[in-house]
Amino acid sequence: MLVKNKQVAIIGGGPGGLTLARLLQRKGVHVNVYERDVNRDVRAQGATLDLHFESGLKALEKAGLMDAFKANYRPDADQLRIVDEKAKIFYDEHTEEATGDFGDEWFRPEIDRGPLRNLLLDSLQPGTVVWDSHVASVERIDDAFQLNFQNGNTVIADVVIGADGANSKIRPFVTPINPFYAGVTILERNIDDAQTNAPQIYDLLQGGKIMAFGDSKTIMVSAKGNGSLDFYIGWKADVHWWVNSGIDFKDGKQVLEWFKKEYAEWDNIWLELFEYEKNFFTPRPLYCMPLDQSWQAQPNITLIGDAAHLMPPYAGEGVNMAMLDALELSECLTSETFADLKSAIAHYEKQMFARFAEVGKETLDNTDWMHSPDGLKKILNMFNPN
């Protein structure tokens, strides 16, 4: 096996990195995951994720974790309502009888990010994840890498996989290619105890998801299993809007006043998302890697997930792509068919480039038309093509 007796370092303990660690350990590979969080409970995990048959679920099946997933996923959390800016319902999956199930190509079960991370963490050998390991710098040492962490620790690794997201510290060692701004900025936030703090939105959600369209803007809301909700609002803006706006995003009142002005045509029901006084907003200009990106493979370093192919969230493919990356890379690294590690990594990267070119285009197209005057019409045509 190509990685036999080699120390493999995965940088980043998100779903992609943890899935890769699990898959490699099942093949007997010595691997550690270096995660910047101090521990598994230090921060709340983000929104609900839908896993796809051909990617996220396929990776979990190969990892031997489908029973754990079935014990933690949220049935019916995928039920969607599409509404306009007045909260008028145009499409409602709550009124339809659920027909999908595991094994069906179009069944996309939902799981909160926290439980998904926990089931992956619990599947790993004790000590696999090295917490409080925020990469400060990376140095090449002969045929290996020295990883230097902000806590003062250093590690030598034979193979390094960057699974450290949009602001990857590993990516510059693989390629100088940078992402470009996709034209849309989002504001996101979590609301605790949604039934109490946003009762109208809670009733509209019905434990599922809302996609709202109007005036070339969007609001996406997801219920979570702990009774909270996550939401983000999106609109076309200058890349530096969040800096030049003058808004203190820790001050909900300032954000509320901005929303009342910029979303003036939207119904007052949406104000509940902004009147909640806890949990500050996070602005995020959305970036995407070039769809035609490529680089020369190296023998001991590569990327998965957002570190490899950052893209906006408007196709639901981010976590699925990361987990499929993990599956395909693990199979390449442990295959007997490649002459050396460079060939194995090159084969993985070739597949990854081709997949991203297709999915990335779909994501960028979605990002554009969802924030157009015809956004509602186009999404409804997708769900009701006749």
User: Smallest Cα–Cα separation from 259: which of 274, 246, 238, 244?
Assistant: 274
43 carries a ligand binding annotation: yes
Distance between CA atoms of residues 140 and 338, nearest Å: 24
Contacts of 35 (CB under 8 A, 6+ apart): 12, 13, 17, 129, 130, 131, 133
142 carries a ligand binding annotation: no
Contacts of 128 (CB under 8 A, 6+ apart): 21, 25, 31, 32, 33
Place of tokens 């040492």: 141
Tokens standing for residue 261: 């002005």
The strand pairing partners of 283, in sequence order, are 187
113 carries a ligand binding annotation: yes
User: Smallest Cα–Cα separation from 319: which of 42, 26, 41, 57?
Assistant: 57
Distance between CA atoms of residues 252 and 147, nearest Å: 39
Distance between CA atoms of residues 20 and 163, nearest Å: 9
284 carries a ligand binding annotation: no
Per the CB < 8 A criterion, the answer to whether 195 and 227 are in contact is yes
What are the backbone dihedrals phi and psi of residue 58, each rounded to the nearest 5 degrees, phi first?
-60, -40
Tokens standing for residue 383: 């769900």
Measured between its terminal Cα atoms, the distance across the chain in Å is: 52
User: Smallest Cα–Cα separation from 379: which of 209, 263, 229?
Assistant: 209
Contacts of 342 (CB under 8 A, 6+ apart): 297, 298, 299
Sequence letter at residue 116: L
Binding-site residues for NADPH sit at 43
Binding-site residues for FAD sit at 50, 113, 306
Binding-site residues sit at 43, 50, 113, 306
